[in-house]
Amino acid sequence: MFKLPTCPHCNSVYYYKDIKKALKQKENTCNHCKKKFFATNKAGKAIIITADIIIILPLDYFLFSIIPNGPLIPVFIITILLISVSFLLFPFTAKFKKSST
Ligand SMILES: [Zn+2]
């Protein structure tokens, strides 16, 4: 699951920043074999966002319950940090698929 995607035609390995770029474009041309493919990470995004909710909600609840008088700012910072980290994982869940055109 958390594996960088490869070109569906020639299996070339793509780097993190290239995957981010590929996800922004509708169609991509492989740098190596010049064949077209498209990048998607819809399924991966859904899994990560679900995991975020499963992890963050109980964690926030736990932090509020152990520290009375609501430590709003630290909880807010932890929540934002966890969400940011999970967003960084998006390219790892990307899939490259052969373009039909
Ligand atoms: Zn290729």
Q: How far is the CA of 20 from the centre of ligand 1 (A)?
A: 17
pLDDT of residue 70: 64
Q: How far is the CA of 44 from the centre of ligand 1 (A)?
A: 22
Higher-pLDDT residue of 68 and 81 is: 81
What's the average model confidence in pLDDT over 71-99?
A: 89
Q: How far is the CA of 42 from the centre of ligand 1 (A)?
A: 22
pLDDT of residue 9: 96
Q: How far is the CA of 1 from the centre of ligand 1 (A)?
A: 21
Contact 41, 48 (CB under 8 A): no
Contact 94, 23 (CB under 8 A): yes
Residues 48-71 as b/e (b if ≥16 CB within 10 A, e otherwise) read beeebeeebeeeeeebeeeeeeee
Quick: pLDDT tens for 17-73: 999 999 999 899 999 999 999 999 988 899 999 999 999 999 888 888 887 776 788
Q: How far is the CA of 41 from the centre of ligand 1 (A)?
A: 19
Q: Distance between terminal CA atoms of the chain?
A: 27
Is the pLDDT assigned to residue 101 strictly greater than 60? no
